[in-house]
């Protein structure tokens, strides 16, 4: 019996995806676990895996076309099986959005509207380069980030002539920008002009009637946000608008934690153990003791997850990704280190899995490597809290009535004050601090 293969939700924020390439063709035999297609989302290029076996009877959504989450993108079934009428209908409704129905009547000529009464900012593209961008098919075979492909297309840069500096020779944004910087074919940035009621324009300043006053400003360029940066912007704006943030800060004596980390990383089974791995394990410990901080607002109620899935906020070429360590409370410190290192490497290498980018219940933002004394983080929408981790610093501390030189670290917990109050936040930090100042608790 034929099975519809639908566009899955490959991350918590995904609503649609662009099929970059099909890894299988019609008539191919498919087994469970086979990669069917590569999909571009706002966050990363991800792969669609088959959970069924059979023959790929029909590709419904072709490469380089957009599909919404839940749309049928392919049909799988027995060899020689005929595609059902239902699937054929779905084929038509799932076609690329820019394909108009053959029977659609011509659109009426729009009626001219009155000139807007307020000045408008409009882009002037008259200076745009006339060269054609490289074809999509030529860049598909080249390893490049989505943003790099976009910038290359906009600036008429042939990706086959670029040497990538990313993992496995992957072309990233800076590789394109370096090329564009020395290329005369780069497309100029649109010039924004203020248009007044009378239609006159100026390169800057304000407009009143037909008059405009010049307003000198610094020279510069405006470039379009990448899909990932645009998503980050909207998500952070949503979080600040919807969730009233409340902050709790603690200072932790990191002497014992650093000694444990230094001793363990010398062992072959703990190779690569970092302080951040202890922090992830400590967060899981604290959340198991104060599970209310793991909650979130959902559908007007309090969502209580059955797992502690910790997201590691990770900087990548195009912005940020948050790979998730699932059921961290059930893992040993060694398992946390292995899983976290692998997930971060996949994110930085541009090859996260869909499981990496979904299901998080709590997040950690660690800026300790940047010599940051203290900061606050914005809660990831869909979660109730985020922990901001600052640098470990050497300073005088008081221990048993004596002043000693020690190493301390500040952390700030941001919580959604609709469901998590100060007492809950303070309780979480109490257990978090306890586990790092007595790190034997992390080895249990």
Catalytic residue numbers read 417
Q: How far is CA 289 from CA 14, 25, 426, in A?
A: 32, 51, 12
Please state the three-class secondary structure of the chain as a single string.
Answer: CCEEEECCCCCCCCCEEEEEEECCCCCCEECCCCEEEEEECCCCEEEEECCCCEEEEEECCCCCEEEECCCEEEEEECCCCCCCHHHHHHHHHCCCCCCCCCCCCCCCCCCCCCCCCCCEEEEECCCCCCCCCCCHHHHHCCCECHHHHHHHHHCCCCHHHCCCCCHHHCECHHHHHHHHHCCCCCCCCCEEEEECCCCCEECCCEEECCEEECCCCCCCCCCCCCHHHHHHHHHHHHHHHHCCEEEEEEEEECHHHHHHHHHHCCCHHHCCCCHHHHHHHHHHHHHHHCHHHHCEEECCEEECCCCCCEEECEEECCEEECCEECCHHHCCHHHHHHHHHHHHHHHHCCCCCCCCCCCCCEEEEECHHHCCCCCCCCCCCCCCEEEEEEEEEEEEEEECCEEEEEEEEEEEEEEECCCCCHHHHHHHHHHHHHHHHCHHHHHC
Tally of CB atoms within 10 A around 2? 17
CA angle 271, 274, 275 (to 5 degrees): 150
Residue 51 contacts residue 26 (beta carbons within 8 Å): no
């Amino acid at each position: 019996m034929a099975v519809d293969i639908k566009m899955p939700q490959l991350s918590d924020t995904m609503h649609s995806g662009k099929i970059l390439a099909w890894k299988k063709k019609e008539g191919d035999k498919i087994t469970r676990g086979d990669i069917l297609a590569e999909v571009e989302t706002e966050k990363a290029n991800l792969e669609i895996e088959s959970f069924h076996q059979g023959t790929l009877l029909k590709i419904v959504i072709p490469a380089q076309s957009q599909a919404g989450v839940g749309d049928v993108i392919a049909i799988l079934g027995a060899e020689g099986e005929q595609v059902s009428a239902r699937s054929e209908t779905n084929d038509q409704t799932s076609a690329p959005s820019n394909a108009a129905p053959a029977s659609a009547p011509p659109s009426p000529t729009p009626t001219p509207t009155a000139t807007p009464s307020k000045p408008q900012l409009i882009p002037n593209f008259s200076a745009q380069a006339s060269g054609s961008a490289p074809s999509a098919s030529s860049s598909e075979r080249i390893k490049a980030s989505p943003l790099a492909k976009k910038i290359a297309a906009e600036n008429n840069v042939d990706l086959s002539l670029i040497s990538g500096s990313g993992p496995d020779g992957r072309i990233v944004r800076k590789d394109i920008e370096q090329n564009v910087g020395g290329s005369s074919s780069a497309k100029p940035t649109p010039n924004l002009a203020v248009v007044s009621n009378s239609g006159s324009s100026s390169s800057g300043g304000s407009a009143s009637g037909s008059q405009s006053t010049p307003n000198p400003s610094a020279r510069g360029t405006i470039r379009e946000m990448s899909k990932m940066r645009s998503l980050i912007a909207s998500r952070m704006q949503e979080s600040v608008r919807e969730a009233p943030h409340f902050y709790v800060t603690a200072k932790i004596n990191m002497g014992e934690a650093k000694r444990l980390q230094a001793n363990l990383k010398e062992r072959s089974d703990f190779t690569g153990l970092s302080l951040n791995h202890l922090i992830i394990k400590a967060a899981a410990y604290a959340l198991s003791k104060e599970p209310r901080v793991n909650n979130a607002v959902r559908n007007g109620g309090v969502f209580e997850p059955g797992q502690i899935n910790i997201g590691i906020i990770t900087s990548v070429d195009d912005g940020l990704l948050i790979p998730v360590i699932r059921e961290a409370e059930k893992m040993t410190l060694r398992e946390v280190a292995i899983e976290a290192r692998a997930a971060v490497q996949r994110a930085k290498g541009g090859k996260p899995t869909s499981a990496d980018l979904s299901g998080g219940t709590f997040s950690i933002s660690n800026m300790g490597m940047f010599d940051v004394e203290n900061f606050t983080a914005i809660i990831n929408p869909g979660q109730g809290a985020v922990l901001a981790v600052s640098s470990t610093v050497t300073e005088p501390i008081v221990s048993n009535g004596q002043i000693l030189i020690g190493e301390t670290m500040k952390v700030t917990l941001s919580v959604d004050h609709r469901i998590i109050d100060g007492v809950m936040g303070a309780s979480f930090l109490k257990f978090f601090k306890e586990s790092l100042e007595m790190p034997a608790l992390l080895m249990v």
